[in-house]
Amino acid sequence: MATTQIAAKAKTKAAPPQASKSQGKEKPETKSREIVIPEIKSKAISKDVGPRFVKGLAKAEQDIAQGEQLVAAGEAAKANWLSECTLAVVKAVKADPTIDLTPAVSSDDGAKKKMSVMNDTLRIVLGISEIVTIKGKNGEDIRRVDYTAAVKEFFPARGENTDAGPGKAKANLRSNVAHALKKIAGAALTIVNRDMRADMDKSGVLRLSGPNVKKIYGMDNVLVNEAQKVIPVDKKGNALDPIELKEKPSFAGLQRRAQVEIGGKVVAPRSNNRTIKATTPDKAIIAIAKSLVDAVSNYKGNVTADMKAALEAVSSAIDPIL
């Protein structure tokens, strides 16, 4: 065994010494990096400003982040209240057909006065206002609509200064409520006239269902949450493939549809740009139909949401008489 090892060693030739890679190369001379330190006069330094800036900026960014969360939460809360109020108005209209919501989407003469009556009606329906009786100058009974005790503190009192301070904030809230009531009325009008089923989803958002819902959105069950892409689930709760709705379900969209179908004035264009005049309904229908066919066949642009709503309104009006 030892002989074999010696023989192996004998066959092995010593390898010639190899020069290192760095051998023969001179290392570049490294220069020390000079650090320039500014010399500033003490009178030029404001030691307290910088720390306040950093702390203030950090606080501002934190407030912005919290503010964005608050805004998102506020928008969600508004959607929930719009849903609940719209459902209540739909219920009221079905219980009392004399309630007129058309002023919310009408622009005819006297619309402003009718809007005032509608707002009073909706405020009473929703428990914001009530009918009270007060005494007149001569002791006579006078009935008027006034805010209920539950909400009176949030709105300006008679004679209160609304140009600044708390009175201005109250006046802004009053204006926002009036704007919301108009949107609610328009949405409720479409729901009632289109015979949609409406209820509250467990998420607190209005849910619409029925055949007419499918005609508009492509699904017979949608949430009014402004989400155009939805993920349906099966009976077992398993998520299915996402679906793109035909239209974004929103209160503004429902209001716009009511505007087009009821309050909107759609004038079909003619080649001479004059409004169609007809003495009888049948002649008017013939003239408008011809003009509509010409306009649609010559239109090459994109179909807007308003155009789509208008055409669907025409289709809905035609179906019952054909």
Q: Is the pLDDT of residue 122 over 60?
A: yes
As a whole number, mean pLDDT of residues 299-314 equals 73
Domain assignment of residue 259, given as a range: 65-265
Is 57 inside a domain boundary? no
pLDDT tens digits for range 166-177: 889 889 988 988
Is 174 inside a domain boundary? yes
Is 26 inside a domain boundary? no
Residues 233 and 103 in one domain: yes
Residues 121 and 241 in one domain: yes
Residues 281 and 218 in one domain: no
Which has the higher per-residue pLDDT, 281 or 98? 98
Residues 270 and 126 in one domain: no
Q: Is the pLDDT of residue 11 over 50?
A: no
Residues 237 and 274 in one domain: no
12-26, 181-195, 284-298: lowest mean pLDDT where?
A: 12-26
19-23, 255-259, 287-291: which is most confident: 255-259
HSE-up of 210 (CA within 13 Å, CB side)? 12
Is 4 inside a domain boundary? no
Residues 207 and 291 in one domain: no
Residues 229 and 300 in one domain: no
- Confidence (pTM): 0.63
Q: Which candidate, 305, 298, 247, places its Cα nearest to that of 268?
A: 298
Domain count for the chain, please give it: 2
Q: Is the pLDDT of residue 273 over 50?
A: no
Residues 204 and 79 in one domain: yes
Is 111 inside a domain boundary? yes
Q: Is the pLDDT of residue 31 over 80?
A: no
77 falls in which pLDDT band (50, 70, 90)? confident
Of 222, 244, 265, the residue at which a domain comes to its end is 265
Q: What is the pLDDT of residue 2?
A: 44
As a whole number, mean pLDDT of residues 139-153 equals 87
